[in-house]
Structure 1
Amino acid sequence: MDKFAHIRMILGFILSLSIAHLLRGVTKFIVHPTKSRPYWIHLLWALYIFLALVYFWWWEYRLSQLHEWTFAAYSLVIFYIVLYYIICFLLFPEDLSEYEGYKDYFFARKQWFYGMLGATFLVDMADTFLKGEAYFDRLGPEYPIRVAAHFLLCMVAIRVKNERFHGGLVILFLLYNISWILRNYFVE
């Protein structure tokens, strides 16, 4: 078995757990509709993370072109997907009894959520460098601006308590991510 096949299996396991955790969290609203009320911002972040996970699996295919795998590269990619798993768990904890619902929970734990989400953008930059200079250049000048803007917005979101800001932010992230995927991966 080559190294990438082995690494892809581990990535797939953690990614599968992440998606399963998100789906389990969302289906709880169907199975137990009166137990916890959904919160629209929280649900949109769950949708954003689901889309990011699907996108993650797609763009990690480019790692198959990496000629030399090192433990550092392996560790970076594993760390990257582990960040997503943590985000999924932060979105849907096992117990909400300390909180009045998902809205209360989201704002109580937004520092962790946005901190981890912000970290994914920084790790994404390192991951992109792993795929080579040609791949990085192909993404154009928008890519580093995208990474910096998303990271900075996550850092601002840690401090802001305004619900409209958080609602606007998740809508902006969703629309931009969809646009990015369509412009960069549906034109090949």
Structure 2
Amino acid sequence: MDAAPATELFPHVRIVMGTVIGLGITRLLMTVAGIIQHPHRGKISTLHILWVASLLLELVLFWWWEFALHSIQVWSFGIVLFVLSYAITLFLMAALLSPDSVSEYKGYEDFFLKRRNWFFGLLAATFALDTIDTLIKGQAHWTRFDWSYFIQVPVGLVLCVLAWRSEDRRVHLGIVGLHITYQLFLIVRFFNIVS
């Protein structure tokens, strides 16, 4: 069976991908709404709220930068599966920040720190997935980036390993602070306009 042309398949892939991303955004927003509605149900944490904000931004960025997939001329099932797997990875990160209940824990931060290996394992996976995603979009897309974009993979992986090993709140606040700062840098430097 031949691969489907982009004009036929891309809108369908974008809808399914957008649905998965939308579910992640919904989970995070429902958690924020729950915290606002019931502030004493679980101990609120600056660390947790910062990761929620960072991941909300990441989900919107993913949806935004995936528009560059429109330039792919021929789609295969492998590419579709890859894009959906990337979206699912981000959704799982959102689910880890949006527990159904924190009653077994001391609050959101305790839950996050006890589930940090899963969260940072998935975050580490996104660095590899992002590199593959950039390659899939073609040489012209790849060459628009410089060292400041590609440094995220080694630095991000080191920070994920550090986060796996540490329960120190200051370390985690530093990592989420760096992550948000870098996201804002990427928006200004590379993703303000998608072509």
TM tier, smaller: over 0.9
1:185 positional shift: 2.6
Q: TM-score with structure 1 length normalisation?
A: 0.96
2:158 aligned with 1:148, yes or no?
Answer: no
1:148 positional shift: 2.0
Q: Which moved more, 1:170-179 or 1:92-101?
A: 92-101
Q: Where do residues 82-161 of structure 1 align in structure 2 (5 Å cutoff)?
A: 82-161=88-167
Q: Is the 8 A contact 2:65 2:191 kept in 1?
A: no
2:62 aligned with 1:56, yes or no?
Answer: yes
Determine helix, strand or coil for the equivalent of 1:138.
coil
Q: TM-score with structure 2 length normalisation?
A: 0.92
Tell me what 1:184 maps to. Answer: 190
1:2–1:88: structure 2 CA closer, same or farther, 3 Å change rule? same
How far apart in 2 are the matches of 1:56 and 1:78? 11
Q: Which runs of 5+ in 1 are unaligned?
A: none
Q: Is the 8 A contact 2:127 2:156 kept in 1?
A: yes
Percent identical among aligned pairs is 36
2:17 aligned with 1:2, yes or no?
Answer: no
Q: Which moved more, 1:155-164 or 1:81-90?
A: 155-164
Tell me what 2:75 maps to. Answer: 69
2:21 aligned with 1:15, yes or no?
Answer: yes
How far apart in 2 are the matches of 1:70 and 1:152? 33
How far apart in 2 are the matches of 1:164 and 1:156? 12
Q: Which runs of 5+ in 2 are unaligned?
A: 1-6
AA aligned to 1:183 is R
Deviation string 1:2-31 (CA, Å, 9 cap, x unpaired) is 110110010011111110000000111111
Q: Is the 8 A contact 1:122 1:147 kept in 2?
A: yes
2:33 aligned with 1:27, yes or no?
Answer: yes
1:151 positional shift: 2.2
Aligned-CA RMSD value: 1.3
Q: Is the 8 A contact 2:42 2:103 kept in 1?
A: no
